Structure 1
Amino acid sequence: MRTAVTTPTSGIPNILSIAGSDPSGGAGIQADIKSISANGGYAMAVVTALTAQNTRGVTGVHTPPAEFLLQQLDAVAEDVSISAVKIGMLGSADMARCVARWLDDVRPPVVVLDPVMVATSGARLLDDDAVRAVIDVARRASLVTPNIAELAVLIGAEPATSWAEALAQGSALAAQLGTRVLVKGGHLPGERCPDALISPQGGPEGALILDGRRVATVNTHGTGCSLSSAIASRYAATADWPTAVREAKSWLEGALEAADLLDVGAGRGPVHHFHSAVDPRMHQRFTDFAWRDTTAVRNEILALPFVAGLTEGTLPADDFAYYLQQDALYLREYSGVLARAAALAPSEDEQLFWLSAATSCLQTEAELHRTWLAREAGKRFGEGEAGPVTRAYCDHLAAAAGRGSYAELVAAALPCFWLYATVGDYVQEQVGDGVPSGSHPYADWIATYADPGFAAATARAQQIADDAHRRASSAERNAMLTAFRWSTTYERDFFDAPRVHGAGRHRPADLQEDAVLA
């Protein structure tokens, strides 16, 4: 072994990219350097191939001798503490075998392989001997991140045409290699872009599914390079694969959203790696763009049968009782989340706000639940077990609280305030002022929506989120938007839970954090 690879004492991980060069800057080591830097690492690069390319395609490739590749690798390893290695284009069997031998000799703690094998056009970039050599490198990796076409080449199959088929192929590859595989759904049809983190022993059923939105842009050059180097950087910082993939995926989504701000080339342009630093939305209020970002889910909430039934007074009593039971159980845990926010709050004023909100969960709101359940449904407050949506929502909030980021926790907690108030405003508007007291079965409940104190608390929570966003780091800002999206999604499913799970009904579902929700 040539050198011992250790973690740098500065706390900033040193990430080595081993990949080809893209002179237009959108992919390869150029994209890796930007991605690593944007995700908190110090970027280093060893070149495996020189390409002549731009946003419209590759016109030439020059591969230096494998001996020179090894000289580059040794020069870095003999002097720098390497926290993680990202491997991209290897180009030939000789280059792949050289990298494999170096990995055996140096043994870096983390290796992420993006197996560049297939061009966007679908053309194979490597011959069979080179593919076998890349597979040999993959066995040494901590994580392999193929796209759909590359996944097929690695297992010797036709490209998957469905998400279920892609999961099966990813599971087969993970078992074959004995390492983790990230299955990426971006090349499959559909409105969503899910990814799946699969362990060698997990199989398709044990995959961690991370949902994602399909961003409407043609500027996607270098997404695979950028994602894999971002994951390597975030894992070196967090030492947790689900967290690293989640954070990198959220960052890449933002880079795709901001890609059209760039004007690079006439073909498929690059993503905007430094979107958090210059993206105009970062100079807006968090609540403005988070609200716009979740418009579709919010509209789905207002169209739910539960909301219609609550408005019209036709909601079955058993469904409402199930909702109240689940809400009571949720509020108990939510109060703990708000208390955690108080502990993390940077000012006494914000500490007092969150503590007051936590108290309200256990007193004011809970009292109405208790009274209605006992009077109308003959049930005890909090009776029963948390349903799958309630459990998943609480687990999501607990995870946000456990990560220790005040900004992320505030964003995760905000939809419970804001969407409750939004549904209340909608129901009040639909019911109007002409409903006599007592003639509507849920009149008492609807009246709580008009509470001026809750409206003021919602406005204060929004202001705190905006203030936290201004103070937050780039990674925290991405985490805030992700947390807000998930809480909004869980709020939708919570309002729909009485129809799906209440009154003896049940549908099989895996509503754990990062699952693709219906």
Structure 2
Amino acid sequence: MTSLSSSSAYPDSAVYPAAPGPVRPPRVLSIAGSDPSGGAGIQADLKAISALGGYGMAAVTALTAQNTLGVSSVHVPPVEFLRQQLEAVGSDITIDAVKIGMLGDAEVIGEVRSWLGTVRPAVVVLDPVMVATSGDRLLRETAEEALRHLLPLADLVTPNLPELAMLLGEPEAADWASALDQGKRLAAACGNTVLVKGGHLAGDDCPDALVNTGGLLRQDIIEVGGPRVYTGNSHGTGCSLSSALATVQARTGDWEASLREVKPWLLQALRDADRLEVGQGSGPIHHFHHLEASAAPDTFAARLWAEASRELGAINALPFIEGLESGALPESWFNYYLAQDALYLNGYSRVLARAGALAPSEEEQLFWAKASQVCLEVESELHRNWLATRRTSQATGPVTKSYVDHLLAASASGSYGVLLAAILPCYWLYAEVGHRLHASYVRNGEPASHPYADWLRTYADEEFAEATRTAIRFTDLAAASASGQERAAMVEAFAHSCRYETAFFDAPRLFA
């Protein structure tokens, strides 16, 4: 198997600098109450932030005596102590996002409002905690008006349906259409985005919707569907969702993308909640279900992602990606990249066809055969629409040759699992990088003047995202039936392909 550090025509010690470390995790501050049973409040927030890849911090607004059965007592410390907590964290640590939960009383709300006005964090998610899952009131009635004045300082507000109704001073919505209408009116009143949640409605479907009156969202209502998870253990769901959204939003800058990433995690956290067996009442959700799953053979991709995430940080820091995002990328670099991409896709299509020949099921055979055909079609399209009108070298570059040689070696190994592991980074890393670039383009208002606008728009292709998920699933299945030695070879093949992906994006800087 070809190695970047040995017999490769593109040794990293010669022309490719050492990859930087992974991008630092978002630093997320939770301003909320404490739940000693660990299911809600800052305890749930810190778990959710960590589960979604962030570094969690907490400023405590209130102390509760509660468990899975209910809340028996609430103590609100002097507001001066909250001020000291916020100043201590803010004076020392850069805060990327803030999640606000239980505030308790009007004085606490006023202090948080004053701090937000001074610090102005980039991302603020407000979960207007007013009533606990058990039905216990967590916000004094005299503080409701103060909370309404705090709402405009948040970028995203995440009330459940009872809280949404209380904020508007109306009866609780009885159906989804009414809930969306209430969400639109609250968003209009506050000038921000409201996440309308369908968890309190009846039925097998449990939709969520981002609602606003303009701004970064591309439309007024973006609905993300999902199944209802029937469980008695949902303690801390709202706290966890809002914290997870704050964490992911600090990375993506796109509320829709953040919700689409967080919601599957939350659904699985609810599905696995019963396994925790915590308490006699409404137990907590399982924040770290994915860590348990990563040790199982059928979630082998979780192990591969540890390799991919390191290279993803390196790719995002490359001048080519930065230039493509800003529009400052030299056209000669882009032309070189596309020319090499066309040459690469020709070889990649042969490797995909080989995967189809080795595939054990008809579903996999058809998937890889179609993928091979799409590669050839994309190559033809590149030549016809862009490269045919521009002057660039048609010679195979050293990175392209080494990468294709590596894939061909994997296809000749005779192992379906090793071949899939080598193939996967071209799907997975490309999809992740593309998602980030497209989110940035949308966040900047989708300027038509961007020289690579047409290219950036293609990154929103849901069909490719779905194909990536399918490729990951097939790799997991192959690993489940592989020997320990073969799984080790899969990890090695995957890691090499990840490094070639980074090298491929950096090649225009070196060779264009």
Find 2:73's aligned residue among 47, 60, 63. Answer: 60
**Residue 290 of structure 2: aligned partner:** 276
Change (3 A) 1:40 1:285: closer
| Secondary structure, counterpart of 1:220 in structure 2 | coil
Structure 1 CA distance for aligned equivalents of residues 139 and 83 of structure 2: 20
Residues 167, 204 of structure 1: 8 Å contact kept: no
**For each residue in 1:23-66, what CA deviation from the matched residue of structure 2 results, as whole angstroms up to 9, or x when unmatched?**
00000000000000000000000000000000000011110011
Structure 1 CA distance for aligned equivalents of residues 348 and 75 of structure 2: 55
Residues 49, 62 of structure 1: 8 Å contact kept: yes
User: After the TM superposition, which residues 304-453 of structure 1 pair with which residues of structure 2 at under 5 Å, given as runs?
Assistant: 349-350=351-352, 353=355, 357-360=370-373, 402-403=434-435, 412-413=466-467
Aligned length: 336
Amino acid at match of 1:272: H
Q: Does 1:22 align with 2:26?
A: no
Residues 48, 287 of structure 2: 8 Å contact kept: yes
Residues 69, 134 of structure 2: 8 Å contact kept: no
Structure 1 CA distance for aligned equivalents of residues 475 and 349 of structure 2: 11
Superposed displacement of residue 252, structure 1: 0.6
Give the TM-score taking structure 1 as reference length.
0.58
**For each residue in 1:325-379, what CA deviation from the matched residue of structure 2 results, as whole angstroms up to 9, or x when unmatched?**
xxxxxxxxxxxxxx99x86x99994596588634546999xxxxxxxxxxxxxxx
Amino acid at match of 2:68: T
Structure 2 CA distance for aligned equivalents of residues 132 and 47 of structure 1: 22
Name stretches of at least 5 consecutive residues in structure 2 with no aligned partner: 1-21, 302-340, 356-366, 378-429, 437-458, 481-486, 492-512
**Residue 262 of structure 1: aligned partner:** 276
Q: Does 1:80 align with 2:112?
A: no
Structure 2 CA distance for aligned equivalents of residues 33 and 64 of structure 1: 21
Q: Does 1:133 align with 2:146?
A: yes
Superposed displacement of residue 128, structure 1: 4.0
Amino acid at match of 1:142: D
**Residue 123 of structure 2: aligned partner:** 110
| Secondary structure, counterpart of 2:62 in structure 1 | strand
Residues 32, 41 of structure 2: 8 Å contact kept: yes
Superposed displacement of residue 254, structure 1: 1.0
Superposed displacement of residue 284, structure 1: 2.2
Name stretches of at least 5 consecutive residues in structure 1 with no aligned partner: 1-8, 288-338, 365-397, 417-459, 474-518
**Residue 33 of structure 1: aligned partner:** 46
Amino acid at match of 1:81: T
**Residue 156 of structure 2: aligned partner:** 143
**Residue 11 of structure 1: aligned partner:** 24
**For each residue in 1:176-210, what CA deviation from the matched residue of structure 2 results, as whole angstroms up to 9, or x when unmatched?**
00110000000011101100001134999831000
Amino acid at match of 1:31: A
**For each residue in 1:104-159, what CA deviation from the matched residue of structure 2 results, as whole angstroms up to 9, or x when unmatched?**
01111110000001233545433443111111221100100000000001111000
Superposed displacement of residue 462, structure 1: 6.2
User: After the TM superposition, which residues 152-231 of structure 1 pair with which residues of structure 2 at under 5 Å, given as runs?
Assistant: 152-201=165-214, 206-231=220-245
Change (3 A) 1:215 1:282: farther
| Secondary structure, counterpart of 1:89 in structure 2 | coil
| Secondary structure, counterpart of 2:153 in structure 1 | coil
Between stretches 20-29 and 236-245, larger displacement belongs to 236-245
**For each residue in 1:289-338, what CA deviation from the matched residue of structure 2 results, as whole angstroms up to 9, or x when unmatched?**
xxxxxxxxxxxxxxxxxxxxxxxxxxxxxxxxxxxxxxxxxxxxxxxxxx
Give the TM-score taking structure 2 as reference length.
0.59
Structure 2 CA distance for aligned equivalents of residues 79 and 276 of structure 1: 32
Residues 197, 208 of structure 2: 8 Å contact kept: yes
| Secondary structure, counterpart of 1:216 in structure 2 | coil
Structure 2 CA distance for aligned equivalents of residues 464 and 65 of structure 1: 55
**Residue 235 of structure 1: aligned partner:** 249
Change (3 A) 1:281 1:164: farther
**Residue 103 of structure 2: aligned partner:** 90
Structure 2 CA distance for aligned equivalents of residues 265 and 162 of structure 1: 32
Residues 215, 257 of structure 1: 8 Å contact kept: yes
CA RMSD of aligned residues (A): 3.9
Residues 28, 98 of structure 2: 8 Å contact kept: yes
Structure 1 CA distance for aligned equivalents of residues 79 and 56 of structure 2: 22
Residues 219, 269 of structure 1: 8 Å contact kept: yes
Change (3 A) 1:10 1:164: same
Residues 215, 256 of structure 1: 8 Å contact kept: yes
Structure 2 CA distance for aligned equivalents of residues 90 and 154 of structure 1: 15
| Secondary structure, counterpart of 1:139 in structure 2 | helix
Residues 400, 412 of structure 1: 8 Å contact kept: no
Structure 2 CA distance for aligned equivalents of residues 176 and 72 of structure 1: 31
**For each residue in 1:234-272, what CA deviation from the matched residue of structure 2 results, as whole angstroms up to 9, or x when unmatched?**
001111110111111111111111111102111110000
Residues 431, 465 of structure 2: 8 Å contact kept: no
Change (3 A) 1:69 1:351: farther
Structure 2 CA distance for aligned equivalents of residues 351 and 461 of structure 1: 17
**Residue 375 of structure 1: aligned partner:** none
Amino acid at match of 2:185: A
Change (3 A) 1:160 1:97: same
Structure 2 CA distance for aligned equivalents of residues 130 and 357 of structure 1: 59
Structure 2 CA distance for aligned equivalents of residues 131 and 44 of structure 1: 26
**For each residue in 1:371-398, what CA deviation from the matched residue of structure 2 results, as whole angstroms up to 9, or x when unmatched?**
xxxxxxxxxxxxxxxxxxxxxxxxxxx9
Structure 2 CA distance for aligned equivalents of residues 267 and 280 of structure 1: 29
Residues 411, 465 of structure 1: 8 Å contact kept: no
Residues 15, 43 of structure 1: 8 Å contact kept: yes
**For each residue in 1:92-115, what CA deviation from the matched residue of structure 2 results, as whole angstroms up to 9, or x when unmatched?**
000000000000011111100000
| Secondary structure, counterpart of 2:115 in structure 1 | helix
Structure 2 CA distance for aligned equivalents of residues 54 and 43 of structure 1: 23
Superposed displacement of residue 10, structure 1: 4.9
| Secondary structure, counterpart of 1:160 in structure 2 | coil
Residues 17, 88 of structure 1: 8 Å contact kept: yes
Structure 2 CA distance for aligned equivalents of residues 81 and 348 of structure 1: 48
Superposed displacement of residue 279, structure 1: 3.6
Residues 349, 371 of structure 2: 8 Å contact kept: no
